[in-house]
Chain A
Amino acid sequence: MATEQDDVIAEPKASPPSNVGSTLKATREAMGKDLPEVASQLRIRLPYLAALEDGRHKDLPGGTYAVGFLRTYADFLGLDGEEMVRRFKQEAAGDLTSRAELIFPSPVSEGRIPGGALLFLGLVLAAAAYGGWYWLNARDTSIAEMVPPIPERLSAVKAPAEPPPAQAEPKAEEPRPDDAKSATGEVVPPAEDDDKPPAPAADARPAPVPVTAAVVEAAKPPAAPPAVETAKAEPKPAEADTKPEPAMASEAPTSAPAPAPAPAADPKVIGEDNIGARIVLTAAGDDCWVQVREMDGQLLLSRLLRKGDSYRVPDRPGLNLMVGNAGALEISVDGKPVPSLGAAGQVRRDIKLDPDKLTAGG
């Protein structure tokens, strides 16, 4: 035994290049044992022992086990187990991972949407819901306040250059001219039929519209539209055309935008068709924004009265006035001026358009 061991220890020194596997093999053969015998004694499976001897590190089980087998085998052969293990680890540095990667099996997530995404989605939905609610609530007022000013601005932009508006206008209201033309033949008669504009027109026009005044005076209501046409060339047809419509609708607001494109320089009268208007609002001092509402809140007029423009308020009870520049607005009741509503630049709301009250002083 002792001599054998001496030999064994001497052997690796004698042949330095020999690796762990060949050392094991040589020692085993020197002891005169064959591999199956060793395997049955050590209870290590034959393939593993063979792999150890042949240096096939890939065929060995995980690091700890391979090292354990080697130590057992080396001790069995009477070799220095620790020394062999050290050498083996050097040789198999790449193939064996002594520190096995530990990845614990974790349950698969149950297909829920991740919290972050869910939260984001919830926020978006909440925002959308709030937005929808807000929009629904604010729609009426916003439309009323937002829409009318647009034609106003357009007119303001287009006013300086006359030809473009002229072109633009007919285009914008193409259907109307057509209707109108087909109607124009009859325009005069309808106008006559209506018989509404004439009287107010006669009253109101002379003051703000000098040009038309003469015409109006000369040619009474029926002639009024044609007269305007002649006086104001192209744009007028639009005005003329629209008139029958408002007349039918008996609504001032619709007619209001139409005349807007008319030359800004010339003072004009809005709501000419309001027969028997007792109250007339005139932007005397400066441009002045006015809004007139019915008792039930329905919008009657909302526009900017250019300097000199006037509006004939329908003779109806319960109208409410809102004025953006109280000082610039001149109000007359039955042709008599009434006290001013306020200073220049002052905004006044909820003024009852009641002739008696206005006369009494707002």
Chain B
Amino acid sequence: MMFPKLTGLFSADMAIDLGTANTLVYVKGRGIVLNEPSVVAIAEEKGKKKVLAVGDEAKMMLGRTPGYISAIRPLRDGVIADFEVAEEMIKHFIRKVHNRRSFASPLVIVCVPSGSTAVERRAIQESAESAGARRVFLIEEPMAAAIGAGLPVTEPTGSMVVDIGGGTTEVAVLSLGGIVYSRSVRVGGDKMDEAIIAYIRRNHNLLIGEGSAERIKKEIGSACPPEDGEGRTMEIKGRDLMNGVPKELIVSERQIAESLAEPVGAIIEAVKVALEHTAPELAADIVDKGIVLTGGGALLSNLDYVLRHATGLPVSIADDPLSCVALGTGRALEEMPKLKNVLTSMY
């Protein structure tokens, strides 16, 4: 207990997986120390905006706030949507993790979606810098995910990783320490939640919140309908659109699978396109070893089954898919001199 604290005094460098849904912080020598939703609650007092809560606490407020409080998710589709709030959030997390007694400001590695534009990357880098980082490096998400999943990315053999995050799905083929092909589609957990909300509103005239949709997805969400019957069922609560009163409803796994068909189809499409663009030698390697799924989306049941049947390739889920990216970014931090060439900086 003493030792990590002691080393923490000297090395507070950190790796941040700045995700749309969750932000994970990995501190050098200590591992993942923080895993909280990327939500910030801001209170407005006399025209002045103040951060009320960040993370789990703020998430509880999401969709339940009075007029003077707004719970905001500063990231959308894997990139910063609200610059100021994102900065506040990063600042909060760094402060929470960083040892205030050490004078040196930390070196920070942040991961960015491979499909993000230069402007979006610059926004992420700048907000990390103004949040108190001494130096900021960026790492592409698929590379971080592959390293975190333990794939042999530096060997001359193709590895395919599909990282399904909250905002984006990253499909990438890696070999010899670099990304050979990558494709980023803005479909992820959020789009699944939206699809569930839309489906229930359309078919049951019931309006549910994002939080409820996420819960449904986690409990009975499936990428394909069960072979027979309705599958698992779940009680959901929301507001009836017809008469405006709160209502309770039971949805089944089959219904949810139906609602998720569109986002799941988009993911499958992205994987297929990526496979189409893969060089034959790498394709041969991928046929042999298959695709590895990481990210929260990998936990959607039967997604591997659907992908397996759509692509005809072996599909496996990485250990601890939720923290793959953070672990990979953390490893890049730990082995900085060796993994220097996967890190970039906007200036």
Contacts and interface: CB of A to CB of B under 8 A. Distances in A.
Interface of A: 42-45, 61-65, 67-69, 71-72, 85, 98-100, 102-106
A178 B334 CA distance: 88
A67 B318 CA distance: 8
Given A45-B314, A61-B289, A72 B154 contact: no
Interface string B310-347: 00111111110000000000010001001101100000
Interface of B: 147, 149-155, 176-177, 288-290, 292, 304, 308, 312-319, 331, 335, 338-339, 341-342
A104 B289 contact: no
Given A103-B338, A104-B339, A72 B314 contact: yes
Contacts of A62: 150-152, 289
A102 B339 contact: yes
Q: Which 7 A-B pairs have the closest CB atoms?
A: A68-B316, A104-B177, A64-B150, A44-B314, A43-B314, A100-B152, A102-B154
B154 A105 contact: yes
B317 A65 contact: no
A268 B47 CA distance: 115
Contacts of B151: 62, 64, 100
Contacts of A67: 316, 319
A68 B292 contact: yes
Nearest to B149: A64
A45 B312 contact: no
Contacts of A71: 316-317
Contacts of A61: 288-289
A104 B317 contact: no
Contact of A68 (B153, B317, B338): B317
Contacts of A68: 290, 292, 314-318
A102 B335 contact: yes
Contacts of A102: 147, 153-154, 177, 331, 335, 338-339
Nearest to A41: B308
A42 B339 contact: no
A98 B149 CA distance: 9
A127 to B, nearest CB: 36
Given A64-B316, A72-B304, 12 more contacts: A42-B314, A44-B314, A62-B152, A64-B292, A68-B317, A69-B316, A85-B319, A100-B150, A102-B338, A104-B338, A104-B339, A106-B341
Given A42-B314, A68-B317, A98 B154 contact: no
13 contacts: A45-B288, A62-B150, A62-B151, A62-B152, A64-B319, A65-B290, A68-B292, A98-B319, A100-B150, A102-B153, A102-B331, A103-B338, A104-B154
A71 B321 CA distance: 13
B222 to A, nearest CB: 14
A63 B155 CA distance: 14
Nearest to A64: B150
A119 to B, nearest CB: 24
Contacts of B319: 64, 67, 85, 98
Contact of A65 (B304, B312, B316, B341): B316
Contacts of B154: 100, 102-105
Contacts of A43: 290, 308, 312-315
Nearest to A69: B316
B164 to A, nearest CB: 15
A102 B316 CA distance: 21
A102 B335 CA distance: 9
Contacts of B338: 102-104
A162 B73 CA distance: 111
A63 B319 CA distance: 11
B43 to A, nearest CB: 42
Residue in A68, A72, A105, A106 whose Cβ sees the most chain B Cβ within 10 Å: A68
Residue in B151, B152, B316, B331 whose Cβ sees the most chain A Cβ within 10 Å: B316
B308 A42 contact: yes
